[in-house]
Structure 1
Amino acid sequence: MKSEMLNTMTDINFSFTKKNDQNWILEHSEKFFIVSDEIKSLLELLKKNQFNLDESYKDFILEFDYVSTEDFNHIVKDNLETLELNQTNNDKSIKKKSFILFETKLISKENAAKISKIFQPLFQPTFFWIAFTLLFSFSIYNLTQIHHFHLEKEYMLFLFIFYIFSAFIHEFGHIAACNRFTKRSGEIGIGIYFIFPVFYSNITPIWSAKKQERIITNLAGVYVQLFIILGLFITYLFTANHQIQDVIAISTIIILYQLIPFIRSDGYWIISDLTDTPNLLPSSSKKVKEFLKNPFKFKVQNRKDWLILLYGLFNQIIMIYVIISIIRAYRYQLIAGPIELIKTIFNQPTETLTYLTSNIELMIISIVFYMILFNLIKRLLKI
């Protein structure tokens, strides 16, 4: 890096929000990073000198310990790369979600914020925790009363439409909570996760909120889905239609899947908030990798490092256990089931709904199995 003006940074506006005694939230280009007091001072020093390295170096050695010019340049370069402050103008408009492919915006952040105001009163913290606990407990109890699914063909279509509607409203829950606590939020869109289309919501501003507010925001999608389930249950009470009860049970299973902390879903972000670790999965994988290389010489600095290591180890163990359990229970059905479904789609398309209705439990298990297997293989390859 030459000692000259850092042209790529001169038009980047960044700001800091106090997080705790040691850390700050850095915001720029609709991105958020947790930084230390020292990094904050470095960036402010660069900004004060209009990102001129020669002038910044003079101030740096007055405020901090002496380092060589070369070391200072490396410090600046490394931090700018880590905090994505060294991107070109063309790069700055690009936002990446490594786990969601082919992102397509459906609703702008302005319109999403306006629509989400309908849900915002539901996120008063005291009311939220009472309502969430009651609704979640009710849904789990209702699920325990179901032993087998017997959805008729016409209800398969209803289940699909309901799932799309519920998943879409789920994202508005996240946006509503984020907007309530930060007065800001992003867009709602659609993309591909593994091989499945999924909705997503941009709630990166929530990193500037308090821990409880971040947790509520990450539970917000499931929370509004629980209200939808309550509405379905009221409908069931008036109609006594047991097919609706099956739809409620399947919806509860989907919610439980979203709360699994070992995939990049709501449960994962909740653990990320509890441990104050924005990049939980990469951090835990790195700890596991270091531990496995030399477990006897592996050292941790603090309690947080222990928690991240335990999460990473437990993560791998749980994934392997779930995969083995499903294989033992379903064995050849995991391969035969999807193959039969593909054959039915191509050879007898009119019988596709009938096949899905008859094998709905196997289909749900197969989807969960292959998504977990896909994630586990990806992580093991990285480790």
Structure 2
Amino acid sequence: MAAYTDIEVSELESSAKGARYVLSHGGRHYEANATVVELLRTLQSHADETEAIADYAARSGGRYSPDEVEAFVAQRLRPIVAGGGAGKSRQFLYERELLPARAIDRLSDALAVMFTPWVMAVTVTLALGADLWFMLTADNLLRVDGGVSIYGVAGLMVFMCASSMLHELGHAAACKRMGVAHGGIGFGMYLTFPVFYTDVSRVWRLPRRKRLVVNLAGVYFQCFILAGLLVWYYAGGASDDVARYLILTMNLGFVLTLNPFFRFDGYWIASDALGVPNLRQRSRELIGWAWRRLRRKPEGTRPYLLGLSRGAKWLMGVYAVAVNAFMGFYFFYALPMFLWSFAQSFPAEAERLIIYLGNGMTPPFSLLRNIVMQLLFLAMIGYMIWGLSRPLWKKYAGSRGK
């Protein structure tokens, strides 16, 4: 049928025991097994859907009736053609494209040469080697000057935005080097984190090794900035506080970006290294299944992870426990501790600000910085709660309206 011929089928390299595939349609991507792909190809080869369903049921040797095949097509394949389905989970609470793909095509084409193997090897070795030496030998490594001015904060924000944009260009250029198209660069809110992102969803068609290169490409491009900062630092006699502070900022950014629990680069690196798409969802499936089994409740559908190879299964078991423990720590300890600290300190800081303003005095920048940063983070927590609860509220309101 013409409706199904636009669905592209690519082999998905993963740790699953059986063959897995990616179905691509309208910029959305869906994981499928060999049985679904066989059904799809039957639909693509027939002019009439009813005839295709009957043909597939007959060739299944009695495994599936025409009614069962029809129900599956209606539930899983027709929504793909219609542009629905669950192929692209919503990663961000808010997202907006800033630069369409066509705006960065020429630049990503030109930068693709940076993924020549010897260039990557030399850059990463020198940058990380010098960075390690900096960490081991720098004096007053973690000292932060309390007298940072508003100009310093503004400069730091500009630096972080520029570094992040280069990071995203790295992902786009890696896509070009690996032979797939990239989408645009945008801005989004992930939980309480404002982030830039690049649409690299087409990398699911690539082998795992190439997907890993794309996932690491952002940090790799930032290694060029890191190398420049290290040259600046040592050229100044290892005494430049601005260079030291920016180097520390970049390293902290690397730690956050490569965290395998938040859905940043580290998460996708872990997903491809383990060969498990939808890593977070799969880990929740496993924890829920184990909990039901422990309570001797109906187990439901067998978790995807139990169909992996033995080594991947053990690694995923460790990851599933670790990621759920980490997210529990973040949501039930780190965020409540911030709110408690905010409730304890903010009233006094606000009172100090009012006193300064009431007496016609300019408040210290450190006081303004603390107040503004706390209010911004509080606003992001509020936005996260609203964004996460909105689908639940819509679902509840919809169920009441029936």
- TM normalised by structure 1 equals 0.78
Deviation at 1:180, TM superposition (A): 1.1
Further displaced range: 252-261 or 29-38: 29-38
What CA deviation, in whole Å up to 9, does each residue of 1:157-189 have, x standing for no partner?
A: 221110111111111111110121024111111
Q: CA deviation at 1:190?
A: 1.4
Per the alignment, residue 315 of structure 2 pairs with: 307
5+ long unaligned stretches in structure 2: 393-402
Question: In angstroms, what is the RMSD of aligned CA positions?
Answer: 3.9
Give the match for residue 85 of structure 1. 80
Query: 5+ residue gaps in structure 1?
Result: none
Question: Which residue number corresponds to residue 60 of structure 2?
Answer: 64
Of the candidates 10, 15, 30, which is equivalent to residue 17 of structure 1?
A: 10
Q: Give, in angstroms, the shift of residue 275 of structure 1.
A: 2.2
**2:215 matches 1:207:** no
Where in structure 2 are the equivalents of 1:1-383 lying within 5 Å?
A: 10=3, 13-19=6-12, 22-50=19-47, 52-66=48-62, 67-80=64-77, 84-87=79-82, 98-125=90-117, 127-129=119-121, 131-143=123-135, 145=138, 146-150=141-145, 152-153=148-149, 154-239=151-236, 240-295=239-294, 300-302=306-308, 303=310, 304-320=312-328, 333=341, 336=344, 351=363, 353-355=365-367
Q: 1:69 corresponds to which letter in structure 2?
A: P
Whole-Å separation in 2 of the counterparts to 1:87 and 1:219 = 34
The C-alpha deviation readout for 1:55-90, integer Å capped at 9, x for no partner, is: 012220333232222211122223326xx51425xx
Alignment partner of 1:99: what SS? coil
- Larger CA Rg, structure 1 vs 2: 2
Shift in CA distance, 125/192, structure 1 to aligned 2, threshold 3 Å = same
Q: What do residues 263-289 of structure 1 show as CA deviations (whole Å, max 9, x unaligned)?
A: 010000111111222211111111111
Worse-matched range after superposition: 234-243 or 294-303: 294-303
SS of the counterpart of 2:143?
coil
Q: Distance in 1 between matches of 2:248 and 2:290?
A: 41
CA distance in 2, matches of 1:18, 1:95: 16
Deviations 1:240-261 (A, max 9, x none): 4222211210221011111000
Report the CA distance shift for 1:37/1:328 in structure 2 as closer, same or farther (over 3 A). Answer: closer
Distance, in Å, in 1 between the alignment partners of 2:356 and 2:210 is 50
- Give the counterpart letter for 2:49 in structure 1: L
Asked if the contact 1:186/1:201 (under 8 Å) is kept, the reply is yes
Deviation at 1:102, TM superposition (A): 3.3
Of 252-261 and 116-125, more deviation after overlay is shown by: 116-125
Query: For the structure 1 residues 342 and 125, does the alpha-carbon distance in structure 2 shift closer, same or farther, using more than 3 Å as the test?
Result: farther
CA offset digits 1:308-351 (Å, max 9, x no partner): 33312111223456789969999964654667777788987975
> Could you tell me which amino acid in structure 1 is paired with residue 152 of structure 2?
Y
Q: What is the TM-score when the length of structure 2 is the normalising length?
A: 0.75
Contact 2:215 2:268 in 1 (8 A): yes
Q: Deviations over 1:283-316 (max 9, x none)?
A: 1111111112223877734434443333121112
Taking every aligned residue pair, what percent have the same amino acid on both sides? Answer: 22
Q: Does structure 2 retain, via aligned residues, the 8 Å contact 1:143–1:252? A: no
Partners of 1:135 and 1:230 within 8 A in 2: yes
Q: Distance in 1 between matches of 2:171 and 2:252?
A: 20
* Counterpart residue type for residue 102 of structure 1: Y
Query: Could you tell me how far apart the structure 1 residues matched to 2:255 and 2:188 are?
Result: 21
